Structure 1
Amino acid sequence: MAGVAQIRRSVMALALPVTVSSLLQRTEGIVAVFLVGGLGAAPIAAVGLGQLLAFIATTLVSGLSVGANVIVAQLWGARRHRDVGEAARHFLGLSILVSLAVAVLGMTLNDLAMRGLGAESGVIELALPYSTLIFLVMPFTVLIQVLSSILQGTGDTRTPMYGMILVNLLHVLIAYPLIYGRWGLPAMGVKGAAVAVGLAEATGVAYLMMRCGRLFKPSIRLRGDLLRMLWDVGAPVSGERIVQQAGILIYTKLVLLYGTISYAAHQVGLSIESLSFLPGYGFAIAAATMVGQSIGAGKYTRAKLENWEANRLAIYIMASMGIVFFFFPYVLLRAFTTDEAVIELGTVFLKIVALLQIPLALTMVLAGSLRGAGDTRFIMSATMVGMWGVRVPIALVVALWMEWSVFYVWSAMIADWTVRMALLLWRYQSERWKVIRVIRETEQA
């Protein structure tokens, strides 16, 4: 069995490219917020609102990407490489069909959703065309996620990273002139940010398809066993994300009650917090991949070591970022906006999220390890308890009954993530994940 030092190196080798890739993926949104920041608080809020709706919509297909990662990892660990190719083909086809349906749904309901959230009319006027364009190019967004997950499941985390480097370079080169009308291009404002996303992500999909073509097995046969695997693992993931994002919708509506300045501070603060959130996501994907491959190979002791090494490294990095958030919030916020009112509120937001970095790190990586084992149903339950049993009730009482400051609404996040951490830690320690079977020998073609 590999030693702890070797496992630590393997975790870092997987996690670092995933972290960079995830950071670059999120950078699309950060760049959009950063570039429109010079236009004022309303454009910041508009882009943030459009991004929120798009992110919520992707929860409907999140089970595809997570399911692809887990199933490919376990099949790869079991050395069932032909099944990996057929699984990849199935997941890609489903992602195209489902993402098209979600795009149409999003373009149809985005106006209603914005008004339901209680956004101000000036913000909706800017957010609606941005959101419509983002939904129009959503199939490219989903394909990047699914193709990246397939490759990550095989242990190849570098190719998705290179793809996201390409996407981000193109995005920056295209977004700035389209937003502000530079280099002979029309000034499109927030719409320019959305157009840039579509062009950059279409190029990224083409690159990933060329790079992972070796995995796909040409066939028109449908494999019922592969579809059942995807349903068993992916359906609870989509359920978890829907539960999470439904709660975020209510939570965001409560923040919007405090006005555009508060929401702009919330959005800029979330963009900054992603600097720590995304490394945590990288370690979660690394844990899911390594644990999945080890379980596929029947190496449960190694899977446990991989989980704890990923947790330890995530805590070190995210806690360090929390210290930066707490002591240097003004410097970070000033890089995104010159609006002093937004900076004043955002300073408190960053101090609050600094306090939840360790619970967040443990929650993310433990969830990644449990997903790698196929224990996605319990994660969905923990998310429901944390979001709907803790965060939303606290925020509702604070905002509507007590009518306290938005600071207390933000503080509900700490309680939410702490409860989730405790539940997932208990589940992992119980070792019930060991009895879950995602793949079976009788299903091999």
Structure 2
Amino acid sequence: MLKDWKKILLLAIPSIASFASMTLTGTINLIMVGQLGALAIAIVGVSNIIMYNAWALFSGIGHTTNYLVAQNYGSNTMKQGVERTYIAFYLCVFACIFTFLVGLFFPESIFRVLGSSVEMIEEGSTYLQIRFYAMLFSIFIFVFHGFFRGIGDTKTPMISSVVGNVIMIILTYGLTYGNLGLPKLGLFGAGLALLIGEFVIFLICAYVYFIKLHKSYETRSRVAFNYKESKLILGESSKLGIQEFSMSMAMFVFTAFVTRLGTEALAANEVALSVMSLGFMPAFAFGSTATILVGQEVGRGQPFEGKKAGTNTAIIGSIFLFILGILQFFFAEPIARVYTHDPAVYELAARLIMISAFLQLFDGLLNFYAGGLRGIGDTSFLLKTSLILGWLLFIPLSYLLTFTLELASIGAWISLYTYLTAFGVCVMIRFYRSDWSLVRANVGETSEI
């Protein structure tokens, strides 16, 4: 047991550090930008939701690379793993073209659809445009990280994320307020800092993949078109991408509801989401670890070892979230005060944080067991469940509690965690009710490197 837990932690801790650096960067940036006022907090918060939707739409490419490469690594067929990664890169090119065009022409329209104020549209459109351009690098980064994690290398994503995010923080401090001898660009400077940081992460990942790993895996090999593999990766990427997009669009509608409650309510909502992202961090990290371990064991032809690894990962991840929940519950208001000095904002944000502190355990279950299901390639279930619960439970319940019963932000957050709880329980049941004796790796006859 201790040996298994040690293996999980050796994979998970760098992933936690990687996700933590991204989360902490977002938190610090929001705190720094927050000094510009509630409007700036609201713009950054709404932009975060919009960009989460943009990322989610194409995230399936990275998720698919992650679980297929993990299976290839376990089955010692890494030539196929590299071929699959190249196909993923080709898909990224098309994704980037689409993202660039949306960022170029539609930022103002997106804000209008959300029901944003005229002031928010005027101040936030340029910032959102820069965020779309930064997403061009993020799409590729997620595929690089998927490959690295698939081969059990969680340190490279950690190092690249930490370096890039430190640069983001420094440049946000300098470019937003004119510090460190840099020009004072306000919200535009904060967006530019994020763009530069993402570019640095992309460069580090490209160096490791194409240069450092070439000797071991021939990562610069020419890859011919393979219809069967292309169809597999497109299909799996579509299912996982639509699943994430369904969840993110549900959050998009959720944010639209909160936006209509006013700028202060929206600012409090974004502060609370920023704080709760500290809980999402270990959830994502252990979910990624579950995908790695389950996928590799399935690749080795040992699915029941994969099931055991998934269970142990969920146990350790839940312990992390429980400890974090205790801290968030008892220090909710002091934490909220770090973001803003507006009593109306931090008092409401503190109540939202207290609601979420322990309920985030169910979000953890969702990530842990969804990671395990990705490891065995059970992507159709994740897609169906996401669509049903997101649009038949979460959205109607959000409207009912927020507006019909007039519970405002509190009602919105109750509906959010009702949704996450239902989703988490569903994927956990699916994980244990799956017939593991029938689980097989999705690998072909490929020569070893």
**TM range, smaller chain:** over 0.9
| Number of residue pairs the alignment of both structures matches | 442
Is 1:303 matched with 2:300?
no
Could you tell me which amino acid in structure 2 is paired with residue 428 of structure 1? Answer: F
Is 1:139 matched with 2:136?
yes
Partner deviation per Cα, 1:210-259 (whole Å, 9 max, x = no partner): 11222414214112232133134222111111211221121111111110
Could you tell me which amino acid in structure 2 is paired with residue 294 of structure 1? Answer: E
Q: Which residue of 2 aligns with 1:108?
A: 105
- Structure 2 CA distance for aligned equivalents of residues 281 and 45 of structure 1: 25
Q: Which residue of 2 aligns with 1:17?
A: 14
Select which of 24, 29, 43 maps to 2:26: 29
- Structure 2 CA distance for aligned equivalents of residues 191 and 433 of structure 1: 51
Q: Which residue of 1 aligns with 2:171?
A: 174
**Identity percentage of aligned residues:** 25
| Contact 2:49 2:251 (8 Å CA) reproduced | no
Which moves more between the two structures, 146-155 or 200-209?
A: 200-209
- Structure 1 CA distance for aligned equivalents of residues 360 and 187 of structure 2: 32
Which moves more between the two structures, 227-236 or 316-325?
A: 227-236
Following superposition, the deviation at residue 123 of structure 1 comes to 1.9
- Structure 2 CA distance for aligned equivalents of residues 433 and 246 of structure 1: 32
Following superposition, the deviation at residue 335 of structure 1 comes to 1.6
- Structure 2 CA distance for aligned equivalents of residues 443 and 396 of structure 1: 52
- Structure 1 CA distance for aligned equivalents of residues 382 and 223 of structure 2: 34
Following superposition, the deviation at residue 438 of structure 1 comes to 5.3
Q: Which residue of 2 aligns with 1:425?
A: 428
Is 1:157 matched with 2:149?
no
- Structure 1 CA distance for aligned equivalents of residues 223 and 362 of structure 2: 46
Select which of 196, 212, 222 maps to 1:219: 222
Q: Which residue of 2 aligns with 1:58?
A: 55
Is 1:70 matched with 2:67?
yes
Is 1:345 matched with 2:348?
yes
Select which of 195, 207, 223 maps to 2:204: 207
Select which of 360, 367, 380 maps to 1:357: 360
Label 1:205 to 1:275 Cα distance change in 2 as closer, same or farther (>3 A). same
Is 1:381 matched with 2:384?
yes
Could you tell me which amino acid in structure 2 is paired with residue 255 of structure 1? Answer: V
Q: Which residue of 1 aligns with 2:180?
A: 183
Q: Which residue of 2 aligns with 1:406?
A: 409
Unaligned runs of 5+ in 1: none
Label 1:265 to 1:434 Cα distance change in 2 as closer, same or farther (>3 A). farther
Three-state SS of the structure 2 residue aligned to 1:39 is coil
Label 1:433 to 1:115 Cα distance change in 2 as closer, same or farther (>3 A). farther
Partner deviation per Cα, 1:11-66 (whole Å, 9 max, x = no partner): 11111111111121233322321111111100010111122211111122111100
Following superposition, the deviation at residue 442 of structure 1 comes to 4.5
Is 1:39 matched with 2:36?
yes
- Structure 2 CA distance for aligned equivalents of residues 101 and 24 of structure 1: 28
Select which of 239, 246, 260 maps to 1:236: 239
Unaligned runs of 5+ in 2: none
Could you tell me which amino acid in structure 1 is paired with residue 427 of structure 2? Answer: L
Partner deviation per Cα, 1:146-174 (whole Å, 9 max, x = no partner): 11111001100001100011101211221
Three-state SS of the structure 2 residue aligned to 1:315 is helix
| Contact 2:33 2:187 (8 Å CA) reproduced | yes
Could you tell me which amino acid in structure 1 is paired with residue 201 of structure 2? Answer: G
Is 1:392 matched with 2:389?
no
Partner deviation per Cα, 1:314-361 (whole Å, 9 max, x = no partner): 111111111112111011112222221110110111011113122111
- TM-score between the two structures when normalised by the length of structure 1: 0.95
| Contact 2:242 2:383 (8 Å CA) reproduced | yes
Once the two structures are superposed, the pairs formed by residues 312-323 of structure 1 within 5 Å of their partners are 312-323=315-326
| Contact 1:229 1:438 (8 Å CA) reproduced | no
- Structure 2 CA distance for aligned equivalents of residues 253 and 412 of structure 1: 14
| Contact 1:28 1:171 (8 Å CA) reproduced | yes
Label 1:377 to 1:59 Cα distance change in 2 as closer, same or farther (>3 A). same
- Structure 2 CA distance for aligned equivalents of residues 424 and 130 of structure 1: 37
Which moves more between the two structures, 231-240 or 340-349?
A: 231-240
- Structure 2 CA distance for aligned equivalents of residues 437 and 108 of structure 1: 45
Could you tell me which amino acid in structure 1 is paired with residue 186 of structure 2? Answer: G
Label 1:80 to 1:340 Cα distance change in 2 as closer, same or farther (>3 A). same
| Contact 1:374 1:433 (8 Å CA) reproduced | no
Q: Which residue of 2 aligns with 1:122?
A: 119
Label 1:7 to 1:225 Cα distance change in 2 as closer, same or farther (>3 A). farther
Following superposition, the deviation at residue 108 of structure 1 comes to 2.1
Three-state SS of the structure 1 residue aligned to 2:339 is coil
Q: Which residue of 2 aligns with 1:326?
A: 329
- Structure 2 CA distance for aligned equivalents of residues 148 and 432 of structure 1: 30
- Structure 2 CA distance for aligned equivalents of residues 284 and 77 of structure 1: 18
- Structure 1 CA distance for aligned equivalents of residues 404 and 81 of structure 2: 53
- Structure 2 CA distance for aligned equivalents of residues 97 and 210 of structure 1: 22
Q: Which residue of 2 aligns with 1:268?
A: 271
